[in-house]
Amino acid sequence: MKNKIMKLFVLLGMVVLTGGAVFCQDKLVSRNGSVSFFSKTSIENIEAHSQTAVSVLDKKTGKLEFSVLIKSFLFQKALMQEHFNENYLESDKFPKSTFKGRIDDLSKIDFSQDGNYTVSVSGLLTIHGETRPVTAPASFTVTNGSAMGQAEFNIMLSDYNISIPTLVKDKISRSVKISLNVKYDDLAKPQMN
């Protein structure tokens, strides 16, 4: 599956370079999507951000795929980042987190019409080698053929086999909020600003 996704990305990239935009009119892509997670407890709030997520959205089928590198998440405190990578997410063993799914009610979005659309997204989320189905509301804002997607949902760390040591169990919430903010560009028109 990974090889198929990689080949899709390479194919799409090659089509851009050769100017074959006809084949890419249905695809929107982002290579610097924003992903954040937030853990809130009475003792401490912990948050981390990555702005290097990759996502491809098929406007025709509603198919939506997302991938983010665990080591790209940045924390305010260095020790927290080290523990996150070495102990909790084991990023050397599981370097990426992925989502493969689709927009459930794609017909609600008119990509040719500027506007804000609220939809439901569902699919399979893989974190720390564990895969679980998720469904979440999302909003898409369409502007001049490009789209900005936003979503927020909660996950239980135990669902993804992420165990919290007893010593810090009061500092990290069992449920973590994940926020996504992705600006998609039409694959045929790379943006420069």
Partner 1 sequence: MKEWLKKYRLIGFAALISIPAVGIYGYQQFNRKPPDMHGLRSSYVIASEDLVSQFDADEKEASAKYSGKVITVVGNVGMVQSTDSSQTVFLNDGISASAVICHFQKNATDKKLMLLEGEKIRIKGVCSGYLMDVVLVRCVVENEK
* Tokens 């399979």, located at residue: 124
Distances in Å between the Cα of 153 and the Cα atoms of 4, 137, 146 are: 28, 8, 24
Give the whole-angstrom CA distance, residue 161 versus residue 168.
16
Query: In this structure, what token pair is assigned to residue 141?
Result: 């804002």
Beta carbons within 8 Å of 132's beta carbon, 6+ residues apart = 124, 125, 155, 159, 160
Query: Is 169 near partner 1 (CB under 8 A)?
Result: no
Query: Is 13 near partner 1 (CB under 8 A)?
Result: yes
Binding part of the chain for partner 1, among 64-72, 100-108, 110-118, 144-152 by CB under 8 A, reads 64-72
Among positions 63, 71, 100, 174, the unique one binding partner 1 when judged by CB under 8 A: 71
Query: Is 126 near partner 1 (CB under 8 A)?
Result: no
Among positions 10, 21, 124, 156, the unique one binding partner 1 when judged by CB under 8 A: 10
Residue ranges that bind partner 1, judged by CB under 8 A: 9-10, 13-14, 17, 31-32, 34, 50-54, 67-69, 71-72, 74-79, 81, 85, 91-92, 95-96, 190-193
